[in-house]
Chains A and B, each alone.
Chain A
Amino acid sequence: MKRTLALILLLTTSTILCSSPDSIKTILEVGPEGKGNSKAAEAWSKITENADVNSLIMVFDAMDKAGPIASNWLRSAAEVIAKNLEKSGQTAIDPLGEYFMDQSHPPKARRFAFELIKKNEPITAKALIPGLLNDPSPELRRDAISSLIDQASSLKKEGKKSAAILIYRQALNAAVEENQVNPISKSLKELGIEVDLPKHFGFLMRWNVIGPFDNTERKGFETIFPPEEEINFSAKYKGKEKETEWVSLASSDSLGKIDLNKPFGMLKETTAYAYTEFESKSSRTAELRLGCKNAWKIWVNGKYIFGRDEYHRGQRIDQYKLNIQLKEGKNTILVKACQNEQTEEWTVQWEFQLRVCDESGVAILASNRKPTPQSEKQSRRPRRSKS
């Protein structure tokens, strides 16, 4: 009886091991608009049925090659396999630990592996947290940074200023998310240390801008104005109502906002362009992260990246994440920002905030970056006339 059961188990296992690579391949082939969904569902069933620890790791490994949709299919399979293994008393801590420790794997997948470890070995997971301070996964960093913030806060309350500053600064060096960076910055300010937030985030603070061009009836978004065809700082062009030319604009805003109302006045139904150059130390992939509540388009090195014609629906740091390729040396960045016709108080903003960073959100600073402009004493924006 035992031998029969062992044979069945062996056959089942070998079937799984044979079918899993094919099934994973099927899932990796899911495409846009639901392409491959039906086959992927069959593959998902095969992968999750009677799966063992090896299958779980095979699924995790496959995430290295998976796009966002296939990653979710695989994540879901891994979640079900892990739950089934847990029910049957099997542990996958060792291989999951190996996977988690290897920073070449996708950050989200490593975070997921960490959560599975944490579920089964919470004490081990807690011990691992301090070592995650500079992890490529922002989610993994987060816990380590929170821990440092707590420690620094305690030291601050105890009046140990120097120690608190050191710990806060260590936390800041690792922090990439606004909701951790800002409280750290605020605490450091209270302790007498000013943080250069634009530099920390990698916001681009110095631009050449030109405008206003027309955006009546929101048609300016699609209209090709001269800066889309040439960048010539000595040229003058016909603007919305008068001749327009390039002017320099430097921002001192702590979150890198480039306020186009400042050079052009608080206008409506207008379009402007902002241009800057970014010297990269090497050829590399990077992310442009934009926050903007006006319609916008972006070009890098003359290549159109993305655009969006939504107005005044909300803005936040890192609202849009755009993958770009930086070349070594000079890179050009052109932003088009359109203001619409709305007159409500909350539609005054004509601005954007743009930073260059890696996939984790860590700033990539240009080799030609100049010191962050100092804030103007009188930076308050005049109120719009109600007439």
Chain B
Amino acid sequence: MKTILNLLAALSISSSAQLLNAEDWLQFRGTDHRGIADSSKLPTSISSEKNIAWKKSLPGRGLSSPIIIGNRIFLTAASTTDQSRLHIMCFNSDDGTTLWSREFWATGRTICHEKTCVAAPTPASDGKRIYALYSSNDLICLDLNGNLKWMRALMKDYPNASNSLGLASSPIIVSNTLIVQVENDSESFTAGIDLNKGTNIWKFPRTKKANWTSPIKVEKNVVAIQGSEGVSAIEASSGRILWSYGEGAATIPSSVASKDGSTIFIPSNGITALKPRNDNNTPEILWQEPQLRPGTASPIIVDDKIFIINRAGVLNAAKKDTGERLWRLRLEGPFSGSPVASKGHIYIASERKGLLQSVDLSGKEGKITGTIELGETILGTPAIANDSLYVRSDHHLWKISNPK
């Protein structure tokens, strides 16, 4: 049976271009970085008895999210006592079988705060290749069969580009450019990397200040990069700065853009809703709500509402257009990962006990509709694809789905 599954997986790899579809989850918080997968049919009321499809053992540590292309899941980890062994693994989403795995030696420093780890950034994919970044600033490109295409040792290139607490920003692909944001107190930069060669297309220095946020796509060729000073929009293909918002922003939760890219919701002064102008002048502030202050989790937009989870683990709902607060719901936190959503439900796993919680957002107030206690510390953000939710801890990867 396993052989057949492996054969099928191999066949699907060879025709990967055809398989790339809206169901794929290609980067941190999904293909468009909004954490939404409305075409997936996830269980709306989760329970351990019904919804754990499989559980897969993992090596080492990791809090990166899985990414999914067709029926293949790609995931990173770091092992050995100093986390200097870097892993990239590919699993069959049907049964969790390992299709291939690759290991590399970290070339940069691997010191991290104990709460994070070297495999913190989520890899990105264009559907043809996997681009995996680690806190050691090793950037590795493999094709979907695990063949090495290129490598960068960014800490060798830029020796002070590291953070002794660990780096966590996830790279993203916009306009055929891999956007890598490496920000710390000593040598910060953002770079656009050529997908085929791994060389810099552009690179510019950033404020010397630790920052764990990830870039987000705003429009076809526009990326927003967030840091302690605020947010800048850059042209992905050239690195040209289009506009900047300079009122400061959080350095842990990342911004989120509306589906049409017309509004960016920034963790700044609580939440600041920003409307970029066509002429690239200073963007218009639509609203600011200091009471909507996210903790570690990034905000998420579902339909006409914005949701944030504060440091106390309380889910706050507000109107997307005005910031008017609607309701609050205490979840069982604390949370380090960010929520994802599908069909009017939010899913998030807590740090302690790994309590995966599903919340129905369709009523006048939010309602917890189910929980699964995974029993391990969960620090990462789930991924959604193939009508399933994928959650990882240091030790395991779970597939959560409706019973067949």
Which of chain A's residues have a CB closer than 8 A to the CB of B105? 68, 71-72, 75, 108
Which of A37, A76, A293, A310 is B163 in contact with, Cβ under 8 Å?
A: A310
Interface 9-residue window, one of B152-160, B248-256, B296-304:
B152-160
Does the CB pair B151–A69 fall under 8 Å?
yes
Query: Is B111 an interface residue, CB under 8 A from the partner?
Result: yes
Which of chain A's residues have a CB closer than 8 A to the CB of B104? 72, 75-76
Does the CB pair B186–A309 fall under 8 Å?
yes
Does the CB pair B150–A68 fall under 8 Å?
no
Q: Smallest CB-CB separation from A177: which chain B residue?
A: B81
Which of chain B's residues have a CB closer than 8 A to the CB of A41? 148-150
Which of chain A's residues have a CB closer than 8 A to the CB of B107? 68-69, 72
Which of A37, A75, A77 is B150 in contact with, Cβ under 8 Å?
A: A37
Does the CB pair B200–A34 fall under 8 Å?
yes
Query: Is B147 an interface residue, CB under 8 A from the partner?
Result: yes
Which residues of chain A from 36 to 84 have a CB within 8 Å of any chain B CB?
37-38, 40-41, 44-45, 48, 68-69, 71-73, 75-77, 79-80
Which residues of chain B from 151 to 207 have a CB within 8 Å of any chain A CB?
151-153, 156-157, 159-160, 163-165, 184-186, 193-194, 196-200
Does the CB pair A313–B80 fall under 8 Å?
no
Which of chain A's residues have a CB closer than 8 A to the CB of B194? 34
Does the CB pair A313–B185 fall under 8 Å?
yes
Query: B154 → chain A, closest Cβ, in Å?
Result: 9
Query: A68 → chain B, closest Cβ, in Å?
Result: 4
Which of chain A's residues have a CB closer than 8 A to the CB of B330? none
Which of chain A's residues have a CB closer than 8 A to the CB of B153? 68-69, 72
Which residues of chain A from 14 to 52 have a CB within 8 Å of any chain B CB?
30, 32-35, 37-38, 40-41, 44-45, 48
| Interface residues on chain A, number (Cβ under 8 Å) | 39
Does the CB pair A310–B199 fall under 8 Å?
no
Query: A117 → chain B, closest Cβ, in Å?
Result: 16
Cα A32 to Cα B203 in complex, Å, equals 15
Given A33-B200, A37-B151, A319-B164, A313–B81 Cβ distance below 8 Å? no
Query: Is B56 an interface residue, CB under 8 A from the partner?
Result: no
Question: Residue-by-residue, is A183-194 near B (CB-CB < 8 Å gives 1, otherwise 0)?
Answer: 000000000000
Which of chain B's residues have a CB closer than 8 A to the CB of A313? 163-165, 184-185, 210
Does the CB pair A33–B199 fall under 8 Å?
yes
Cα A363 to Cα B176 in complex, Å, equals 49
Which of A80, A139, A306, A308 is B80 in contact with, Cβ under 8 Å?
A: A139
Query: A12 → chain B, closest Cβ, in Å?
Result: 19
Does the CB pair B151–A73 fall under 8 Å?
yes
Query: B200 → chain A, closest Cβ, in Å?
Result: 6
Which of chain A's residues have a CB closer than 8 A to the CB of B138? 72
Does the CB pair A38–B164 fall under 8 Å?
no
Q: How many residue-residue contacts, CB under 8 A, span A and B?
A: 98
Query: A62 → chain B, closest Cβ, in Å?
Result: 15
Query: Is A329 an interface residue, CB under 8 A from the partner?
Result: no
Query: Is B109 an interface residue, CB under 8 A from the partner?
Result: yes
Does the CB pair B80–A34 fall under 8 Å?
no
Which of chain B's residues have a CB closer than 8 A to the CB of A69? 107, 151, 153, 156
Which of chain B's residues have a CB closer than 8 A to the CB of A79? 102-103
Given A34-B198, A69-B156, A316–B150 Cβ distance below 8 Å? no
Which of chain B's residues have a CB closer than 8 A to the CB of A177? 81
Which of chain B's residues have a CB closer than 8 A to the CB of A293? 164
Does the CB pair B148–A44 fall under 8 Å?
yes
Given A75-B105, A139-B80, A313-B210, A319–B151 Cβ distance below 8 Å? no
Query: Is B50 an interface residue, CB under 8 A from the partner?
Result: no
Q: Smallest CB-CB separation from A313: which chain B residue?
A: B164
Cα A320 to Cα B155 in complex, Å, equals 12
Q: Smallest CB-CB separation from A44: which chain B residue?
A: B148
Query: Is A282 an interface residue, CB under 8 A from the partner?
Result: no
Cα A71 to Cα B156 in complex, Å, equals 14
Given A44-B147, A76-B148, A310–B200 Cβ distance below 8 Å? no
Cα A33 to Cα B105 in complex, Å, equals 18
Query: B156 → chain A, closest Cβ, in Å?
Result: 6
Given A79-B103, A108-B105, A306-B159, 15 other A-B residues pairs in contact with their CB atoms under 8 A: A32-B156, A34-B197, A38-B196, A40-B150, A68-B153, A69-B107, A69-B151, A75-B103, A76-B102, A77-B148, A79-B102, A311-B185, A313-B163, A314-B165, A320-B109
Q: What are 7 A-B residue pairs whose CB atoms fall within 8 Å in the complex? A: A37-B197, A41-B149, A44-B147, A75-B104, A108-B105, A309-B160, A309-B208
Q: Top 3 closest A-B pairs, CB basis?
A: A314-B164, A34-B199, A37-B150
